[in-house]
Amino acid sequence: MILVGPDHPIQEKISCAKGLFEAYGKDLLSHREIKTLLGRYAKAIEETWAVMRDTGVVDVCTQCAIEDGGSCCGNGIEDKFDVALLLINLLLGEHLPEAPWDDSGCWFLGPKGCTIKARHTICVNYLCKRLTETLPRENIHKLQAAIVAETDLGFLLEERIKGYLKRCSIQKTSP
């Protein structure tokens, strides 16, 4: 299995993630620490979305997309994703699209928003001027707390998976 780097096209990263999932998915899903982190991360993602709905972020973003065409999920955002994050999506049961729904948008943008659970930090953390001017400060603070929980767990999970894959690679190449 040849790992691809951050500068490779998204199609190659997706292919690599699928290959890793096929080779190591069952082991990763049964690895005690990774399984625990995956569950905690999935809950943190759900919490972020709940806070986004409760604080009005989803409404503001929907209005922006309808009225102004949105810009957050533009073409090229997918280039920020690495193989480990794509693999995490597969471990969460997500489908990685073979092609973008809209060529002018992010590879993972669908007709109802993002099509995957585990998103890049920039996707989760970005608060545009419209949001910061529209939402009350306390709502922004609630959202930021949820975002920190999600992104911290996502980072930790990625690091554990990368370590696991590195150990597997070393074991396969050792005499």
Do 175 and 97 touch, CB atoms closer than 8 A?
Answer: no
Predicted pLDDT at 19: 95
Distances 150 to 41, 75, 76, 124, 167 between C-alpha atoms, Å:
6, 24, 23, 8, 26
Predicted pLDDT at 73: 81
Q: Which residue has the higher pLDDT, 8 or 68?
A: 8
Rg, the chain, Cα only:
17
% the chain with pLDDT above 70: 93
Is the confidence at residue 175, as pLDDT, over 60?
no
Q: How far apart are CA 163 and CA 160, in angstroms?
A: 5
Predicted pLDDT at 171: 62
Q: How far apart are CA 76 and CA 123, in angstroms?
A: 12
DSSP secondary structure, the chain, as one string: -----TTS-HHHHHHHHHHHHHHHHHHHHH-HHHHHHHHHHHHHHHHHHHHHHHHTHHHHHHHHHHHH---TTBTTGGGG--HHHHHHHHHTTPPPPSS-SSTTB-TTEETTEES-SS--HHHHH---HHHHHHS-HHHHHHHHHHHHHHHHHHHHHHHHHHHHHHHHHHHHH--
Which of 44-48, 55-59, 73-77, 120-124 is predicted with the least confidence, judged by mean pLDDT?
73-77
Q: How far apart are CA 142 and CA 45, in angstroms?
A: 14
Q: What is the pLDDT of residues 84-138, one digit of tens each?
A: 999 999 999 999 999 988 888 889 988 878 889 999 998 898 888 888 998 999 9
Task: Give the residue extent of every domain in the chain.
Answer: 10-169
Is the confidence at residue 62, as pLDDT, over 80?
no
Q: Which residue has the higher pLDDT, 70 or 134?
A: 134
Q: What is the pLDDT of residues 38-49, one digit of tens each?
A: 999 999 999 999
Predicted pLDDT at 69: 66
Instruction: Provide the whole-model pTM.
Output: 0.90
Is the confidence at residue 174, as pLDDT, over 60?
no
Is the confidence at residue 32, as pLDDT, over 90?
yes
Is the confidence at residue 80, as pLDDT, over 60?
yes
